[in-house]
Amino acid sequence: MSAPAGSPHPAASARIPPKFAGAAASGAAAPSGPGPAPHHQNGPAHSQMQVPSGYGLHHPNYIGPSGHFPQGPGKMTSLPLESQRGDYYSGLYTVPTQNVVTPCTANQSGAQQMYGRGPPAPHVVGSTPGSFQGAASSASHLYTSASQPYSSFVNHYNSPAMYSVNSSVASQGFPSTCGHYAMSTISNAVYPSVSYPSLPAGDPYGQMFTSQNAPTVRPVKDNSFPGQNTVVSYPSPLPPPPSQQQQQQQQQQQQQQQQQQSLSGYNTLSWSAPGLPSTPDSLIRNHTGSLAPTNNNPTNTVADSLSCAVMQNVQPRKSSPVVSTVLSGASSTRMPSAAKHPTEPVAPVTQPSELIQQKGMQYGEYVNNQASSAPTPLSSTSDDEEEEEEDEEAGVDSSSTTSSASPMPNSYDALEGGSYPDVHSSSASSPAPDPAPEPDPAPAPAPAPAPAAPQPSKMAKPFGYGYPILQPGYQNAAAPLNSGVHPSSQGYSGFQQYPQQYPGVNQLSSGLGGLSLQSSPQPESLRPINLTQERNVLPMTPVWPPVPNLNLELKKLNCSPDSFRCTLTNIPQTQALLNKAKLPLGLLLHPFRDLTQLPVITSNTIVRCRSCRTYINPFVSFIDQRRWKCNLCYRVNDVPEEFMYNPLTRSYGEPHKRPEVQNSTVEFIASSDYMLRPPQPAVYLFVLDVSHNAVEAGYLTILCQSLLENLDKLPGDSRTRIGFMTFDSTIHFYNLQEGLSQPQMLIVSDIDDVFLPTPDSLLVNLYESKELIKDLLNALPNMFTNTRETHSALGPALQAAFKLMSPTGGRVSVFQTQLPSLGAGLLQSREDPNQRSSTKVVQHLGPATDFYKKLALDCSGQQTAVDLFLLSSQYSDLASLACMSKYSAGCIYYYPSFHHTHNPSQAEKLQKDLKRYLTRKIGFEAVMRIRCTKGLSMHTFHGNFFVRSTDLLSLANINPDAGFAVQLSIEESLTDTSLVCFQTALLYTSSKGERRIRVHTLCLPVVSSLADVYAGVDVQAAICLLANMAVDRSVSSSLSDARDALVNAVVDSLSAYGSTVSNLQHSALIAPGSLKLFPLYVLALLKQKAFRTGTSTRLDDRVYAMCQIKSQPLVHLMKMIHPNLYRIDRLTDEGAIHVNDRVVPQPPLQKLSAEKLTREGAFLMDCGSVFYIWIGKGCDNNFIEDVLGYPNFASIPQKMTHLPELDTLSSERTRSFITWLKDGRPLSAVLHVVKDESPAKTEFFQHLIEDRTEAAFSYYEFLLHVQQQICK
Amino acid sequence: MEAVVFVFSLLDCCALIFLSVYFIITLSDLECDYINARSCCSKLNKWVIPELIGHTVVTVLMLVSLHWFIFLLNLPVATWNIYRFIMVPSGNMGVFDPTEIHNRGQLKSHMKEAMIKLGFHLLCFFMYLYSMILALIND
């Protein structure tokens, strides 16, 4: 797609905007409109949401991620060990650590999570019993094969899958929301700093607690209480399952089930809070499936941390011996796995469970659950698990023992995934098919009549028949999806029908009663919304990404939206359809984010497609045991001998159970085939500006202090090297060679031809020369205090740095405080201050010279990344300087008007940013390749990197805070496939010198109708992609072009929707539910620093905002674009979540309008990197005193950047809320307390993007403007 | 005299044809991943100015020698070359910028451009050849 200006020629710009939209445009219909559903639901709804969310959180959204995430929670319980690692890898697992804090807490959290997961499954059952069973059964089959280690994963997935099904099928509201929640939590979890993982679970639960605890508890007691953990519990669980089955058949009974399930879900919630042992058991029973996974997860996670598949295997092993017999007999694999872990300690218990399982094949799920429940308590004890792990590791090599029992056919089915899902998907997608029918539908698609037999295995077989066909699964999946989405092709008509179709949901809601489901019968994503009449478009809760409308299996396996998102979760079949939809098609990636849980696979052969080099992933199909078909190029490949053996289960002949095929996000330890040279050590070079300007600003003290504090935490191994350079008009090197008594400063004044005075001793081993380094860092801040040198020879310094780094590669951190004024790369001031608020032309957004770009490319070629810290009070031409980071895959930090004493908030921000910067994970000499299914092609990449060849991004460094975007076009019609996949493979050298490959795989459905395309729009992803495109347009063409393009994106997409899909009044401004936030977000973008006009904006600020848009991952970018506003003077514990023993209140989101501000209130605005607390004049003095520590409004100082730690309830709530929001951000946020009268309030008010400003529309005016444009 | 003009034009045109072929080959190498963007662009940027000069010289020569038709035929292409060269943003490394060549289908448009130029130069080649022979005969 040449959408953005195909060429830099201004002439071409005339119709640019439309192209812009059109180019990227494509429609995908996603049935689930999670966002809206949550909104509608109020208090009660929340509770429901939460319940599922607890579980759903992880699973529903992304199957793939779910695996990870679930594990994450699991880890929390068991992982303390890992968390402690704190190493390079710790980054991945950071989250767990916090959670882990104390074993007790860990257990609780784990329990919560486990419960959470468990509950979802039950929910699913309730909503669509038929589907539920089917899914469960299938899942169980898959797992039965006894790949226990994986089974755990599977379990997770299963539970999530269940959810997803519900969501897609029924009103998204319920399941989808859950899924969304899960997502949110997950995203939070992503960042190590916060103990998010626990939080997510907590959120849902927390809410649950408040209102629903009482009811939930009761049911729990009834069912589960009798038998807490052990044998006793099993019997109790058994009875329920049968009842459930019956119920499934009868919808009426469904309600009951739902209630039970819901109860269970709630129970789980309650559990988390109390952390009672007995309760967990009950919960477990209810959720069996889910619980089991959780147990497994912890173990798995541990294993992951260890980084070996082996570890996973280990766990299974132990369990397996006990269970093995059971497995063969029992249909449900999950159970075994779950049971197994616990089993060791309590062998007898597990066996009974197994027996039970065998008896009730249909009930397998429940049984499984029970079994799992039994284990859970055991698992909670971290010690046991750890031991198991160790044992397993030791025994990994030993031959596989147990799982022979699993029937091959089933496993294959599972492998194909696609085929399986079909059945499920049909049931799931179509609301109409109730649980009972599900079994039937499954057989229908599949040739083999799977007897509705309760056994899942049978179900699987039909699919198995399908194998010969190329992509049976996929084919099947597609059709169901469509039907599910909208009965009729046109969204509207279909939409109305929904309520009827989802009886299950309604019943659920009724059954839940006070709990609350507001059944949202309609697919929210397609509900037509008259934007001009809808006062409250913004939901009260955060917006979650839509869940792709896939079948259960695939949903479970799919990649987390935090890592991988597509603007259209339903991919249009043809470019023509995409053009019709006028929506951008692209991917948003966050490939290296900190994960709490990540399967790491060590294997001699990494299985890849022989023609397209795709890594084997969960969406490939196994044609038979020896061959698999690539899901990107459709080539049939052989399964290598080694792959036949599953280290987790120690079984042979089950390639589909391998972790590579069970997780959409995996990490491989690469062999030497993946190295061009021996893995490089971690090398860090600091290039510091020490001109007068820099000394005056005083950043050196902060930097040296941070470095001293974090010297031991720098990621790296024993080979880590570090070096320092300073520069003003000359360049100073520091010889830190071991053996010197003190650092030796070497000055090179020939800046026209820079040379290295002593090439060997400038970069020194961190550990060997630590004392010298510390001496230098202590001395550095005072060395230049009297300097009179005002010039800055940045260019030559960078050249020298390049020379220094080129033998190894590594990271160069450049600190610059002014415009470079000497030598190569000198720059002139280009900003005209009078033009800052110009509404016409904003010039100089592009670089002034190609020096920095060339340098960056040189650096990139030598695997060196340049990170720029610009601490400047004047114009420094960031547009030019940023090039050094942009193309070398570095990152850019900008601290306008930095001064260590005059601007303490910036100083503090620098300090915090440095801490994160120095200690976060880092990958060296990385390349990233993005592959997609044949027919799709990528044409434009956004982010900091160098595109070395068509789909290969060269990343000298990769850091966990880097986000990327890719624009896609559809080159060939996708009519012969119903699923498309995207795979990102990031090959990097870890700071420990290991070559690793992190692979994410995302699977999305293909749709043929425009309505489906609209139903699947991920509005946040679309906005972020548009923002990236608009940055490109601003630079290559002009800012006004970019702004027009943004407006046209809204106009075109809404008018296309109005003229093609919606048949309603053409005079009104109608948007589908999935796009209802689109105009708001675009308006927010237009008022963003990067794109605003008419408001005084410094050029560097603008350019920095653009750099951020290009390089921030979606979650952070969205906060920059559309801040969150909360009212904080009346925080309550209602709906609060629990994180690390802290209660975090969850106030509702307010819309960004002054109408929401009251003088009596206090409001918190979260803008990503800045927090504002606005205090109204009439704010309650109690609040001011309790939270701010001042007696009344008048005594609050003008500049306040900290909240005092007061020992009052409201202070505690406020602080815990803010801390929670701050956690896990790449950029630490600065807090400003803004009084209503203070001059600083304009900064606060400029973020109220729904209000009118002198230079920009209000939201309503913008809507009218859009409407006018459409009517033209 | 006339013959000399066309002999020169013919030689110049041959060079331009070779240059076009070289552009196409290099670009398709990049497309096929045989070379990386950096080396591709530095190779091509080297020849942008020679190409521009070579073509401009012929165009001017035609104007001077009053071959209006051939001059007008060459004018748009020469203008395009100059325009493209002038419009390179200050931060770019030349007409071919390695950081952008993979974006927004630039590679394809460069390829298309090189193909069109090749066709154009071939056409010119035969025209010059014909004109040269005619001129030689007339002499």
How does pLDDT run across A609-627, given as a tens digit for each residue?
888 888 888 888 888 878 8
Are A1135 and A195 in contact by the 8 Å Cβ rule? The answer is no
Give contacts of B42 with chain A, Cβ < 8 Å. none
**Residues A1003-1053 pLDDT 10s:** 888 888 888 888 888 888 999 999 999 998 888 888 888 888 888 888 888
Tens digit of each residue's pLDDT (9 = 90 or more) over A70-87: 333 333 333 333 333 333
Q: Give contacts of A5 with chain B, Cβ < 8 Å.
A: 104
Tell me which residue of A852, A856, A853, A877 sits closest to A865, measured CA to CA: A856
Verify whether the Cβ–Cβ distance A949 to B109 is below 8 Å: no
Bridge partners of residue A265, in order along the sequence = none
The confidence score (pLDDT) of residue A839 equals 64
Check: CB of residue A809 under 8 Å from CB of residue A676: no
Amino acid making up residue A303: A
Q: Residue A64, Cα to own-chain centre: how many angstroms?
A: 11
Yes or no: say if A986 and A928 are a contact pair by the CB < 8 Å rule: yes
Q: Which residue among B33, B104, B105 sits closest to A949, beta carbon to beta carbon?
A: B33
- State residue A331's pLDDT score: 36
What pLDDT does residue A168 have? Answer: 33
Looking at residue B83, its pLDDT comes to 92
Q: Do B38 and A948 touch (CB under 8 A)?
A: yes
Q: What is the DSSP code string of A467-523?
A: TTSSSHHHHHHHHHHHHHH-SSSSHHHHHHHHHHH-HHHHHHHHHHGGG-PPP--S-
> Which residues in chain A have their CB less than 8 angstroms from residue B93's CB?
850, 853-854
- Contact, A1163 vs A1177, CB < 8 A? no
Contact B104 A947 (CB under 8 A): no
The backbone torsions φ and ψ at residue A233, rounded to the nearest 5 degrees and listed phi first, read -60, -35
Ranges under pLDDT 50 in chain A = 1-521
The dihedral built from the CA positions of residue A766, A770, A772 and A777, taken in this order, carries a sign that is: positive
Pairing between β-strand A1137-1139 and β-strand A636-638 as defined by DSSP bridges: unpaired
State whether residue A93 is helix, strand or coil. Answer: helix
Provide the token pair at A638: 């052989």
- Half-sphere exposure of residue A993: CA atoms within 13 angstroms, side-chain side: 13
- CB atoms A880 and B89 under 8 Å: no
Note the pLDDT of residue A138: 37
- Chain B partners within 8 Å of A948 (Cβ): 36-38
Question: Which tokens is B72 given?
Answer: 């007008």
pLDDT, residue A523, reads 61
Cβ-based contacts of A886 with chain B (< 8 Å): 99
A478 vs A471: CA distance, rounded Å:
11
Euclidean distance between CA atoms A285 and A1045, whole angstroms: 55
CA distances from A593 to A94, A565, A1224 (A): 11, 14, 11
Query: Chain B within 8 Å of A1021 (Cβ-Cβ)?
Result: no
How many angstroms separate the first and last alpha carbons of chain B? 9
Predicted ipTM beyond 0.90: no
Range(s) of the domain holding residue B11: 1-138
Cβ distance of B91 and A853 shorter than 8 Å = yes
- Which pTM does this prediction carry? 0.65
Q: Do B103 and A1032 touch (CB under 8 A)?
A: yes
CA A1145, distance to chain mean position in Å, is 22
A1240 φ/ψ angles, rounded to the nearest 5 degrees: -70, -10
Using CA atoms, how far apart are residues A202 and A1140, in angstroms rounded to an integer? 9
Pair type for strands A1142-1144 and A1230-1235: unpaired
Q: What is the pLDDT of residue A67?
A: 34
Q: What does the pLDDT read at residue B115?
A: 92
Q: Which residue of B has its CA nearest to A883?
A: B91
Q: Nearest chain B Cα to A852, which residue?
A: B91
Q: How far is A1046 from chain B (nearest CA, A)?
A: 17
The chain-wide mean pLDDT, for chain B, equals 87
CA distance to A122, A137, A279, A994, per residue, from A414 (Å): 22, 11, 33, 33
Compare all CA atoms of chain B with the CA of A951 and give the residue at the minimum distance. B102
Q: Per the CB < 8 Å rule, is A850 touching B102?
A: no
Question: C-alpha dihedral over A457, A461, A462, A465, to 10 degrees?
Answer: 170
Antiparallel, parallel or unpaired: β A810-816 and A864-872: parallel
Quote the crossing angle between the two packed helices A1078-1086 and A1019-1036, to the nearest 10°: 30
> With an 8 Å Cβ cutoff, are B107 and A950 in contact?
yes
pLDDT of residue A379: 34
Q: Does residue A1122 contact residue A1152 with C-beta atoms inside 8 Å?
A: yes
Task: Give the pLDDT band of residue B116 (cuts 50, 70, 90).
Answer: very high
- Nearest residue on chain B to A944, alpha-carbon basis: B99
Residue A983: which H helix or E strand, with range? strand A979-990
Q: Per the CB < 8 Å rule, is B87 touching A5?
A: no
Sheet strand arrangement including A1149-1150: A1149-1150, A1124-1127, A1162-1166, A1170-1175, A1230-1235
Who contacts A796 (Cβ-Cβ below 8 Å, separation ≥6)?
A727, A731, A751, A752, A754, A822, A823, A824, A825
pLDDT at B118: 92
Q: Cβ contacts (< 8 Å) between A880 and chain B: which residues?
A: 91
Cβ of A624 under 8 Å from any chain B Cβ? no
Q: How many domains does chain B have?
A: 1
- Summarize pLDDT for A425-453 with one digit per residue, the tens: 333 333 333 333 333 333 333 333 333 33
With beta carbons less than 8 A apart as the criterion, state whether A170 and A431 touch: yes
Alpha-carbon distance B120 to nearest alpha carbon in chain A (angstroms) = 22
In DSSP terms, A812 is beta-bridged to A685, A866
